[in-house]
Chain A
Amino acid sequence: MSNKFYDNPVIKWVEYRLPIFSFIDESVGSGYPTPKNLNYWWNFGSLAGIVLAIMVATGIVLAMNYTPHVDYAFESVERIMRDVNYGWLIRYIHMNGGSMFFILVFIHMFRGLYYGSFKEPRELLWIIGVMIFLAMMATAFMGYVLPWGQMSFWGATVITNLFSAIPIIGDYIVTWLWGGFSVDNPTLNRFFSLHYLFPFVIFGLVFVHLWALHVHKSNNPAGVEIKSSEDTIPFHPYYTMKDLFGLGVFMIFFMFFVFFAPNFFGEPDNYIKADALVTPAHIVPEWYFLPFYAILRAVPDIWFISAKLGGVIAMFGATLVLMLLPWLDRSKVRSARFRPIYRQLFWVFFVDCLILGWVGANSPDAVFHGIPFLWIGQAGTVYYFAHILIIIPLVSILEKPIMPPASISAAVTADGAATKPAE
């Protein structure tokens, strides 16, 4: 497409054989037209990509000093912390990087929900995103097992036992996952192997995610498609600069935790070596799993489905149901800016997710001002599914949206001035 590189004879020679320069330019360069109205909520995808790269880089170095054996894993992590040069820094970056990755991806997903980024023609883009999220959760779970502390061991025990809820073959699956009759050395070995593999699977999915993104380009806060070149600016230098600025702000946040509160997101019990005969008083997963943990525990026995199986179905269903959103939301208007009712319900859903996280952090027997946490968790779970499966479809049919601007440009020019965003 662009002939601008062809002046340099070396680039010209390479480009003729492998058009890599134009490929880069059309992906993240001046040859990629991007909506000119993107706000800072559009920074989080690229930030998540950068954190993925940071996780791989720190992870490779950690693997050079880590021993995946039940007798040495805990000690090898302590050795990394105490003896390996800058081992403490690299491990704390990796450890907190996991939390950062989830913070960024949660914001990225809520942004998609708010601005309707999942809608036609970006359904596959959204579904691939949900798959990335699932792969991230699997990777994070297995990574948390590797230090072989008490939470590692008991988290692994509780989560792998979830599969025993599957009728008939459940117990065989659990034995197969463990490679034995309990979480033990074979389990630790395979989790290490898979924890190293999965980030590359995520890389592959991210590539497909970006491929699909570049077909119809980014959605934008107005939620209207690009109509003409008036609506776009080149990705480079405009959004490379904006993303870099956002990266600077984010790194301040990230490094604050790495240097000043490295164990803020962790559990003290994980600095006790795994003991198969002592269960910690209160097993809690990492914070990013808490809403799902609350859903797992909220489901009672329903008809012939046991609480255990029902909880597992609800927990996995909570993520998988997101894949159906493009078809559940029938509103042609994407952005919540022009959807007065959906916009309010979006925030109700956001608060519901926070409440579920708060319930997940508490013991199911605990009571909050006379209300058992179990009830709060059940109410939150019912709303979660009702929001996605009932409220979103109904609102998308019944709500009368505000007329969106004719184009991205029209929103800020005289002829589009009539349609002021309701935000």
Chain B
Amino acid sequence: MSDTADTDDKTRRDFLLISTCTVGAVGSALAVWPFIDSMNPAADTLALSTTEVDLGPIAEGQSITVVWQGKPVFVRHRTAAEIKDAEAVNLGDLIDPQDDKDRAQKPQWLIMVGVCTHLGCIPLGQKASESKGEFGGWFCPCHGSHYDTSGRIRKGPAPKNLPVPKYIFLTDTTILIG
């Protein structure tokens, strides 16, 4: 150590102390990331992220439920009346305004994730015997959310429409979801 004034010495020591602490703190914080990220979906979980569906056997007015990423996906072959109902709705009346054309690539095929956007229950309405709610689409029994024939939220606590997953038509009668 030189004979320079104490203040100089202190500044150098402070610099060393602060920079060491900073590097140590940042390093420790970064070391936490692998532990956090290990709880995100693993590679094998992600690998199961697409599902192919054959639409051929689904007659008009019928619905099927397929599993995609562990979640039910509703595939509905809509009737002309249902399509007309869905298209006739005034967007201003909707809780989550969305045109029916933006929800179905081909109007007769409505494909969406069958998980209520409120708290994740599965809405009723897939089977003919089940309640379809006040708007002729789907009804969630958990907390009373009503969806219309386009899967849009119309009444109840759910904030959003039933989400439309990413899908493409491989042929006229097969789709790939995901």
A179 close to B142 (CB less than 8 A): no
A161 close to B119 (CB less than 8 A): yes
Please count the residue pairs between chain A and chain B whose beta carbons lie under 8 angstroms apart in the complex: 78
A76 to B109: give the CA distance in the assembly, Å. Answer: 42
Encode A358-389 as 1/0 by CB contact (under 8 A) with B.
00000111000000000000000000000000
A247 at the binding interface (Cβ < 8 Å): no
B121 at the binding interface (Cβ < 8 Å): yes
**Per a CB cutoff under 8 Å, which of A175, A183, A277, A282 touches B141?**
A282
A279 close to B122 (CB less than 8 A): yes
> Distance (Å) between the CB of B114 and the closest chain A CB?
9
In residues 105-129 of chain B, which contact A (Cβ within 8 Å)? Answer: 115, 118-122
Contacts of B115 in A (CB 8 A): 182
Contacts of A186 in B (CB 8 A): 41-42, 45
B69 at the binding interface (Cβ < 8 Å): yes
A190 at the binding interface (Cβ < 8 Å): yes
**Per a CB cutoff under 8 Å, which of B36, B67, B119 touches A157?**
B119
B142 close to A278 (CB less than 8 A): no
> Distance (Å) between the CB of B44 and the closest chain A CB?
10
Contacts of B136 in A (CB 8 A): none
B122 close to A277 (CB less than 8 A): yes
A162 at the binding interface (Cβ < 8 Å): yes
Encode A129-162 as 1/0 by CB contact (under 8 A) with B.
0000000000000000000000000100110111
A182 close to B71 (CB less than 8 A): yes
| Residues of chain B at interface, number, CB under 8 A | 26
A276 at the binding interface (Cβ < 8 Å): yes
A179 to B45: give the CA distance in the assembly, Å. Answer: 8
Encode A296-325 as 1/0 by CB contact (under 8 A) with B.
010000000011100100000000000000
Encode A179-220 as 1/0 by CB contact (under 8 A) with B.
111111010001000000000000000000000000000000
A311 to B158: give the CA distance in the assembly, Å. Answer: 12
In residues 264-309 of chain A, which contact B (Cβ within 8 Å)? Answer: 276-279, 281-283, 297, 306-308
A181 to B69: give the CA distance in the assembly, Å. Answer: 6
> Distance (Å) between the CB of A284 and the closest chain B CB?
10
B57 at the binding interface (Cβ < 8 Å): no
A176 at the binding interface (Cβ < 8 Å): yes
Contacts of B121 in A (CB 8 A): 154, 157-158, 279, 283
- The size class of the interface chain A forms with chain B is 20 to 34
B143 (CB) vs chain A CBs: closest residue: A364
B67 close to A180 (CB less than 8 A): no
Q: A162-B119, A283-B121, A306-B159 are in contact. Are A176 and B40 (CB under 8 A)?
A: yes
B24 at the binding interface (Cβ < 8 Å): no
A282 to B124: give the CA distance in the assembly, Å. Answer: 13
Task: Name the residue in A175, A181, A183 with the highest tally of chain B Cβ atoms < 10 Å from its Cβ.
Answer: A181
B70 close to A181 (CB less than 8 A): yes
A186 to B38: give the CA distance in the assembly, Å. Answer: 11
Contacts of B70 in A (CB 8 A): 180-184, 276
> Distance (Å) between the CB of A165 and the closest chain B CB?
9
Contacts of A154 in B (CB 8 A): 121
Contacts of A281 in B (CB 8 A): 141
> Distance (Å) between the CB of A76 and the closest chain B CB?
21
> Distance (Å) between the CB of B126 and the closest chain A CB?
9
A184 to B67: give the CA distance in the assembly, Å. Answer: 13
A373 to B71: give the CA distance in the assembly, Å. Answer: 31
A35 to B69: give the CA distance in the assembly, Å. Answer: 60
B144 at the binding interface (Cβ < 8 Å): yes
B157 at the binding interface (Cβ < 8 Å): yes
B71 (CB) vs chain A CBs: closest residue: A182
Contacts of A279 in B (CB 8 A): 121-122, 141-142
A134 to B158: give the CA distance in the assembly, Å. Answer: 27
Contacts of B157 in A (CB 8 A): 297, 307-308, 311
The 7 closest A-B CB pairs, nearest first, are A181-B69, A182-B70, A161-B120, A158-B119, A279-B121, A157-B120, A279-B122
Q: Knowing that A157-B119, A279-B122 are A-B contacts, what are 14 other residue pairs whose CB atoms are under 8 Å apart, sorted by A's residue number?
A: A157-B121, A158-B119, A160-B120, A161-B119, A180-B41, A180-B45, A181-B45, A182-B70, A276-B67, A277-B67, A279-B142, A282-B141, A307-B159, A308-B159
17 contacts between A and B (CB under 8 A): A157-B120, A157-B121, A158-B119, A158-B142, A160-B120, A175-B41, A176-B36, A176-B39, A176-B40, A179-B42, A180-B45, A180-B70, A181-B45, A182-B69, A277-B67, A279-B142, A282-B141
